[in-house]
Amino acid sequence: MYAKLAACYPDAHCELDHEGPFQLLVATVLSAQTTDRRVNGVTPVLFGRWPDPQSLAGADSAEVEQVIRPLGFYHTKAAAVIGLSEELVDRFDGVVPARIEDLVTLRGVGRKTANVVLGNAFGIPGITPDTHVIRVTCRMGWTSATTPDRIEAEIGELFDPKDWVKLCHVVIWHGRRRCHARRPACGVCPVAALCPSFGEGPTDPQEAARLVREPRR
């Protein structure tokens, strides 16, 4: 199934715009409960004003909140990105650490966010059980777990670590484009013949094709 999905989405990649580990870390924290497109809409201004941990650590929280307001939960998110910047400066000399044990000690950073940064900024394998990965892997029968930690562990056992980062990109792209939470586009799914959940959405190809989404940039 993975081979078919990978063939369908050969260009799958992280859709958060970023330059370097710090920008990716901040963007990933900001992406909670919103879309990558919305995050990409505010980060040029955010990083234009506060391009590194040192500057963001000293930022006025009200000014950061104003920039990231369109993302929702802006009070919490501003406190998180300012707080993690302070911790980077105080504990890591302003450098994003390349160990999950260190990353998860930063404010607002859990295993999912840490694995996004490790995989995409440092090339260190990790599984990122976001909402799309959880939904799609459960539908395809790759896991029966109900918690992110267990899903991460079970999916990790099925695939070679060298494939983990690309696997997550492919599954996320499939979840965003075809395997939606509501009305998945089953009739145009590249793994329809293999998927145990085939039929949860429209199976007619024409009807299903109308459900395919290409995320706006």
User: What's the CA gap between 161 and 214, in Å, rounded?
Assistant: 28
Q: For residue 98, how many other CB atoms are within 10 A of its CB?
A: 14
Binding site per annotation, positions for [4Fe-4S] cluster: 179, 186, 189, 195
130 catalytically annotated: yes
4 catalytically annotated: no
Half-sphere exposure of 62 (CA within 13 A, CB side): 0
Handedness of CA 178, 182, 186, 190 (dihedral sign): positive
- Write down the catalytic residue from 52, 130, 162, 204: 130
Following DSSP, what letter does each residue of 100-128 receive, concatenated? HHHHTTSTT--HHHHHHHHHHHS------
- Write down the catalytic residue from 112, 162, 163, 166: 112
User: What's the CA gap between 24 and 30, in Å, rounded?
Assistant: 10
Return the closest-CA partner of residue 79 out of 151, 138, 30. 30
Binding site per annotation, positions: 179, 186, 189, 195
Following DSSP, what letter does each residue of 47-108 receive, concatenated? HHH--SHHHHHTS-HHHHHHHHGGGS-HHHHHHHHHHHHHHHHHHHTT---S-HHHHTTSTT
Catalytic annotation, residues: 112, 130
